[in-house]
Amino acid sequence: MKSSLLRLCSLAVFLGAAALGCKPKNTSDAISGDAASKVYVAPGKYDEFYNFVSGGFNGQMSVYGLPSGRLLKIVPIFSVFPENGYGYSEETKPMLNTSHGFVPWDDQHHLELSQTEGKIDGRWIFANANNTPRIARVDLTTFKTAEILELPNSAGNHSSPFITENTEYVVAGTRFAVPMDDQNGDVPINTLRKNFKSSISFISVNKDSGTMSLAFQLRLPPIDFDLSHSGKGPSHDWFFFSTYNTEQANTLLEVNASQRDKDFILAVNWKKLEAYVKSGKGRTESAKYAHNIYNEQTHSATSTIENKVLAIDAQDLKDICYYIPCPKSPHGCDVDPTGEYIVGSGKLAALIPVFSFTKIQKAIATKDFIGTYEGIPVIKYESALYGEVQKPGLGPLHTEFDGRGNAITTMFVSSEIVKWNIKDLKVIDRKPTYYSPGHLSIPGGDTRSPNGKYVIVYNKITKDRYLPTGPELAQAAQLFDITGDKMKLLLDFPTVGEPHYAQAVEASLIKDKSVKFFKLEDNKHPYATLGEKNAKVVRNGKRVDIYITEIRSHFTPDNIEGIKMGDQVYWHMTNLEQDWDVPHGFAIKSAANTAELLVMPGETQTLYWTPEKPGIYPFYCTDFCSALHQEMQGYVRVSPE
Ligand code: CUK
Ligand code: CUA
């Protein structure tokens, strides 16, 4: 993103917009007199909203309270996390398995809370991985990653994990057109048009368990999907995608991908598509992808490699896909709460086009097309257009809705947020942001019922906003009050990673369902130790299983002998506590110990260990658990073979 900033900024200068600049200077009028009291959450008081923020290149999700901006938790999703042993314990390693093997990092851009009838229901949050395409589901009772599904036939997985109104599907569009996985991919890159395809994955979600499965993939001629959103209400059956690179350029020069005056929004009738698939129109293709599920009873993940996918071609179905021209390098593709208006944000456009679902339907019914693009009908721009927001600012990126008939759009180049009325397309207010905002988020702001109290803006550049921390500065969010006609800046707060999309929701939907500890009697881990008297060391050839319990504040057993060089040692730590917020840690001195374990009350987690030489190895609890925490320690003795 930052490199394209340079291009976009020079574009701003080129357009004679240097006055707007990349760096608004005046901050004094941004802070209103009562801002402090509006964001102050007194000690002992809870925040009103949970704010879930994507981690970008850190591969995690962070959770903040709003309006305070206090960081509550980092939830590892696609990256290993030494703080709690995610990706290091035997139980969580399978979560990061893929068809390419163990991939302990990814680039996480978008989050979407599950919905029922177009409203956030607070059950799960879905996350995308851009690099090795994956979709994850985080359980909001435990704040743990519950499931990760890899996506075959994709590369880059940017336009996801956007969902339909009842979480029927999580939808994921590929960023890169690629040769299909079951073909020989060793083809000249300039045969892209012939040999590459673009896929949109439809992942169904089980209503009760949340379990995902890759239902089918829609195949299209090469095109790069950027962002997407489902329809709502009247447009419930439809999904909308922004695209770029309609020249099917295969070099990285932006000029190549942006030379057209207009790219496309793709409208897909997913409901009809689903019916075609159900009636047997799809074909089964071979494809390899991992499906990883964490089980809360066994406290362990299993990874399965799937080998088939159902595919269906857009060109074979005459009434599923329609392109709508959209100026110019569209990025965000956002649908208003009524489901009637679809906002395309062309990064390089000096206006914001707003499309009308009713007009799109009419154009389809009357075949008001200007032609086809790779076999898919292209609706006439004017026939789909509701209207254009004129002179909104420079570099419109993303739009959210306040539920009162207004939209707020980030302007990447002119570094501001702009509020405009959806009906009359008039700009109502603009406020500078610091600097170069990417995504923004209003609680419920992409659903049928936004809570238009705040907008939170995620900035790409924070130069001079925080104490310097070397060449890289804090990532940053800004909280604005949007209850009045004029937006008011209330708070800056630094964030973890590079935030892209974020979602916020009323805390009441989540907080009372939060699991406080895991019941020991429900612990079905095969190596659980359900009481100190069951603690033991079991040898089976070279394999040694150590069943250890942890309770304030000792290990049982705490002195272990009989381990020999060449042994493969599995430390199965069971935390016997049955109380809220009493994890115990485990770490052992040695090269093989690359992270600690942090074991939640009632849970069992395993560290695999191979001793490096004979001797005495101390181990201890890493989490300050009681006045005797420091004493929570032990020794293991390793003897020659
Ligand atoms: S993208 Cu980051 S600012 Cu990946 Cu959603 Cu627009
Ligand atoms: Cu257990 Cu410290």
**What pLDDT does 257 receive?**
47
For the CA of 439, the closest atom of ligand 1 is: 3
Ligand 1 first shell, C-beta below 6 A: 1, 109-110, 158, 227, 331, 397-398, 438-439, 500-501
Check if 553 has its Cβ closer than 6 Å to any atom of ligand 2: yes
**pLDDT tier at 247 (50, 70, 90 boundaries)?**
low
Tell me, using a 6 A CB cutoff, whether residue 298 lines ligand 2.
no
Q: For residues 569 and 563, is the Cβ–Cβ distance under 8 A? A: yes
- CB 576 near ligand 2, within 6 Å: no
Q: Is the CB of 582 under 6 A from ligand 2?
A: no
Q: Is 497 left (phi over 0), alpha (psi -120 to 50) or beta?
A: left
Asked whether 629 lines ligand 2 (CB < 6 A), one says: yes
The alpha carbon of 500 and the centre of ligand 1 are apart by a number of angstroms equal to 5
pLDDT band at 246 (very low <50, low <70, confident <90, very high): low
pLDDT at 11 exceeding the cut of 90: no
Percentage of residues in the chain having pLDDT higher than 70: 93
> Between 1.10.340.30, 3.90.1150.10, 1.10.520.10, 2.60.40.420, what CATH number should domain 520-639 receive?
2.60.40.420
- One-character DSSP codes across 9-21: HHHHHHTT-TTT-
- Ligand 1 centroid to 463 CA: how many Å? 20
First-to-last C-alpha distance (Å) of the chain: 55
What is the reported pLDDT for 21?
Answer: 42
130 Cα nearest atom in ligand 1: 4
Residue 437 has pLDDT above 70, yes or no: yes
The CA distance from 606 to 608, in Å, is: 6
Confidence bin at 568 (pLDDT 50/70/90)? very high
* For the CA of 498, the nearest atom of ligand 1: 2
The ligand placed nearest to the CA atom of residue 583 is 2
- Is 378's C-beta closer than 6 angstroms to any atom of ligand 2? no
Distance 529 CA to ligand 2 centre (A): 17
Question: What's the pLDDT score for residue 593?
Answer: 72
Give the distance (Å) from ligand 1 centre to CA of residue 216: 26
Least distant ligand from the CA of 550: 2
Long-range contacts of 155-158, Cβ-Cβ distance < 8 Å, separation of 24 or more: 156/130, 156/131, 157/128, 157/129, 157/130, 157/133, 158/109, 158/110, 158/128, 158/130, 158/225, 158/226, 158/227
- Residue 7's pLDDT is 41
The pLDDT of 255-269, averaged and rounded, is 74
Decide whether any atom of ligand 2 lies within 6 Å of the 548 Cβ. Answer: no
Ligand nearest to the CA of 54: 1
Atom of ligand 1 nearest to the CA of 227: 5
Q: Please tell me the predicted confidence (pLDDT) of residue 30.
A: 55
> For residues 28 and 31, what is the distance between their CA atoms, to the nearest angstrom?
6
Query: Which atom number of ligand 2 is nearest to the Cα of residue 626?
Result: 2
Q: How close is the Cα of 590 to the center of ligand 2, in Å?
A: 20
CA 275 / ligand 2 centre spacing (Å): 55
Q: 24 C-alpha to center of ligand 1: Å?
A: 22
The pLDDT of 283-289, averaged and rounded, is 97
| Encoded tokens for 210 | 């949340």
User: Distance from the CA of 602 to the center of ligand 1, in angstroms?
Assistant: 39
Q: Which ligand is nearest to the CA of 598?
A: 2
Q: Nearest bound ligand to CA 551?
A: 2
pLDDT-based confidence at 292, cuts 50/70/90? very high
Residue-level pLDDT at 250? 56
Predicted pLDDT of residue 248: 63
Query: Residue 594 has what pLDDT?
Result: 77
pLDDT for 4? 44
Question: What pLDDT, on the 0 to 100 scale, is given for residue 31?
Answer: 60
Q: Which atom belonging to ligand 1 lies closest to the Cα atom of 332? A: 6
DSSP string computed for 192-251? HHHH-BEEEEEEEE-TTT--EEEEEEEEESS-EEEEEEE--GGGTTEEEEEEE-TT---S
Q: How far is 570 from 561, CA to CA, in rounded Å? A: 14
Residue 134 · residue 106 · CB < 8 Å:
yes
- pLDDT for 461 beyond 70: yes
Q: Are strands 584-588 and 615-620 parallel, antiparallel or unpaired?
A: antiparallel
Asked if residue 48 has its Cβ within 6 Å of ligand 2, the reply is no
Cα–Cα distance for residue pair 306/290, rounded to 1 Å? 6
Q: Are strands 437-441 and 568-575 parallel, antiparallel or unpaired?
A: unpaired
User: Residue 34 burial (CB < 10 Å; 0-12/13-18/19+)?
Assistant: exposed
Atom of ligand 1 nearest to the CA of 110: 5
> How far away, in angstroms, is 331 Cα from ligand 1 center?
8
Q: Identify which of 107, 162, 398, 412 to mutate to test ligand 1's pocket (most ligand atoms within 8 A of the CB).
A: 398
Is residue 584 in contact with ligand 2, taking CB distance under 6 Å?
Answer: yes
Note whether ipTM > 0.90 here: yes
Q: What is the mean pLDDT of residues 337-350?
A: 92
Residue 27: what pLDDT? 55
Domain edges within the chain: 22-513, 520-639
The closest-lying atom of ligand 2 relative to the alpha carbon of residue 623 is: 2
Average pLDDT over residues 437-455: 98
Q: Return the closest-CA partner of residue 57 out of 115, 107, 19, 18.
A: 107
- pLDDT one-digit tens code per residue, 192-238: 989 999 999 999 999 999 999 999 999 999 999 999 999 999 999 99
Give residue 198's identity as a one-letter amino acid code. S
Q: Which residue has the CA at smallest separation from atom 1 of ligand 2?
A: 584
What's the 293 CA to ligand 1 centre distance in angstroms? 27
Ligand with the closest atom to the CA of 558:
2
Q: How far is the CA of 585 from the centre of ligand 2 (A)?
A: 6
pLDDT at res. 34: 86
Q: Find out whether the beta carbon of 633 lies less than 6 Å from any atom of ligand 2.
A: no
The alpha carbon of 627 and the centre of ligand 2 are apart by a number of angstroms equal to 9
pTM for the predicted model, two decimal places: 0.94
For range 437-458, the mean pLDDT: 98
C-beta of 144 in contact with ligand 2 (< 6 A):
no
Handedness of CA 375, 348, 344, 446 (dihedral sign): positive
Tokens representing 344? 């395309």
Mean pLDDT of the chain: 92
Q: What is the pLDDT of residue 260?
A: 58
CA of 582 to the centre of ligand 2 (A): 8
Atom 2, ligand 1: residue with shortest CA distance: 500
The ligand 1 atom at the shortest distance from the C-alpha of residue 398 is: 6
**Ligand 1 atom nearest 501 alpha carbon:** 5
632 lines ligand 2 (CB under 6 A): yes
> Residue 256 pLDDT > 50, yes or no?
no
C-alpha dihedral sign at 488, 494, 498, 500: negative
Asked if omega into 242 is within 30° of 0 (cis), the reply is no
How far, in Å, from the CA of 612 to the mean position of ligand 2?
Answer: 26
pLDDT, tens digit, for every residue of 309-342? 999 999 999 899 999 999 888 899 999 999 999 9
| Residue 114 or 23, more confident | 114
Closest atom of ligand 1 to 412 CA is: 3
Q: What superfamily would CATH give domain 22-513? A: YVTN repeat-like/Quinoprotein amine dehydrogenase (2.130.10.10)
Task: Give the distance from CA 507 to its chain's centroid.
Answer: 19
Instruction: Tell me: pLDDT of 26 over 80.
Output: no
Give pLDDT tens digits for 520-557: 999 999 999 999 999 999 999 999 999 999 999 999 99
User: Which atom of ligand 1 is nearest the CA belonging to 331?
Assistant: 6
Q: What does the pLDDT read at residue 8?
A: 41
pLDDT-based confidence at residue 10 (cuts at 50, 70, 90): very low
